Amino acid sequence: GAASKGEYRHFMQKEIYEQPAVIAAALEGRLGEHSVPAECFGPDAEALFARVEQLHIVACGTSYHAGLVARYWLERYAGIPVQVEVASEYRYRTVVVPDNTLFVTLSQSGETADTLAALRFARERGYLGSLAICNVPGSSLVRESDLTLMTQAGPEIGVASTKAFTTQLTALMLLTLAMGRVKGLAAETQADVVAGLRGLPQLVSRVLKLDGAIEALSTAFAEKHHALFLGRGAHFPIALEGALKLKEISYIHAEAYPAGELKHGPLALVDGEMPVISVAPNDELLDKLKSNLQEVKARGGELFVFADEGVGLAEEEGVRVLRLPHVHDALAPILYTVPLQLLSYHVAVLKGTDVDQPRNLAKSVTVE
């Protein structure tokens, strides 16, 4: 039937709140007891995955950010070299394709002109095959790819992509585990991440309960003209996605940097007018991130940190800390996306922009 906002004020808000359910849908029928069988990618996937020696991932916008996260995952857990590129660059350059490379596209709509053109370009380049991770069944990308995995997010109406992204990440973790299984990832690690995936919808529900606290934070952004997002490792692309959301719907200029790059330039921008948002889950990079945060504080920057509840990071003058439930390292990028979605949503509502239909943008970019 016709899409309805139900009890929600905007489609974007509704779609943010649908995430526990759609992440569960993306996992439905795809998890083995302690591993992810390749069959969820199709009957021929197991034999194909065994031959894959590298991946080229191509996408646009938010889908590209999902690809960047997948690179960290696939190299760490499956030991497979991965290149990730925006489709509009990929399709117009000379690409060297090593033997046994799988071509992967990511797209909510399956109709993005550049991504589709990249797939058609790739078909002439001797890839092992093509895999589309997509949300729209029967879309051009799905019809033209050898293997497909549907993200099962349901229709996404808000121009700012939310549930499509977290279900893409879920699908990409399935790909990582399926590849990892074929490439010899330790059984214990596979089992831990599979257990983590089973608990993920519940954890996302808990993060959604931070909504009120994040709405309260959003007032600090409404009058600002710029914002800086920091992350490290697989959370750098999450910072990129946080910045894209803020730009798209609140029209605040936002940039994302890997935290370690701060002193190579962007630190010059930091003063009392520059809010700095950091995703700091409890992973191996936390100590390094803590020292980056000190650099920001020392320059009078206002800091907003999303951190694991177990992290010893104190609130103080100029440092606001929001605590997220503990999550398996591998899955933290999915969980830490949600508070950044809520933040940009509330800032946009405060600013009175057209949240679901931001100026100058279309839901899918079907012309170049």
Position among 146, 248, 308, 356 found at the interface with ligand AGP (CB under 6 A): 248
Least separation in angstroms between residue 331's CB and ligand AGP is 21
CA distances from 8 to 12, 201, 286, 358 (A): 9, 20, 36, 18
Decide if 363 is catalytic.
Answer: yes
Confirm or reject binding of residue 107 to ligand AGP (CB under 6 A).
yes
**Separation CA 272–CA 212 (nearest Å):** 25
Confirm or reject binding of residue 88 to ligand AGP (CB under 6 A).
no
3-state SS of the chain: helix, strand, coil percent to 5? 50, 15, 35
**Separation CA 178–CA 156 (nearest Å):** 27
Question: What residue is closest to ligand AGP based on CB?
Answer: 61
Confirm or reject binding of residue 160 to ligand AGP (CB under 6 A).
yes
Least separation in angstroms between residue 68's CB and ligand AGP is 13
Residue from 62, 8, 34 nearest 337 by CA: 62
Position among 45, 57, 58, 60 found at the interface with ligand AGP (CB under 6 A): 60
Angle among Cα 54, 58, 60 to the nearest 5 degrees reads 155
Confirm or reject binding of residue 341 to ligand AGP (CB under 6 A).
no
Confirm or reject binding of residue 61 to ligand AGP (CB under 6 A).
yes
Q: Which stretch binds ligand AGP (CB under 6 A): 45-53, 155-163, 259-267, 319-327?
A: 155-163
Confirm or reject binding of residue 13 to ligand AGP (CB under 6 A).
no
DSSP class of residue 78 equals: I
Q: Site for ligand AGP (CB under 6 A): how many residues?
A: 15
Q: Provide the token pair at 280.
A: 């700091």
Confirm or reject binding of residue 78 to ligand AGP (CB under 6 A).
no
Confirm or reject binding of residue 171 to ligand AGP (CB under 6 A).
no
Position among 112, 282, 337, 341 found at the interface with ligand AGP (CB under 6 A): 112
**Residue-wise DSSP of 269-302:** G-STT-EEEEEE-SSTTHHHHHHHHHHHHHTT-E
Q: Provide the token pair at 156.
A: 């996404």
Q: Which residues are catalytic?
A: 363
Report the interface residues with ligand AGP, using CB under 6 A.
60-63, 107-109, 112, 115, 159-161, 248, 364-365
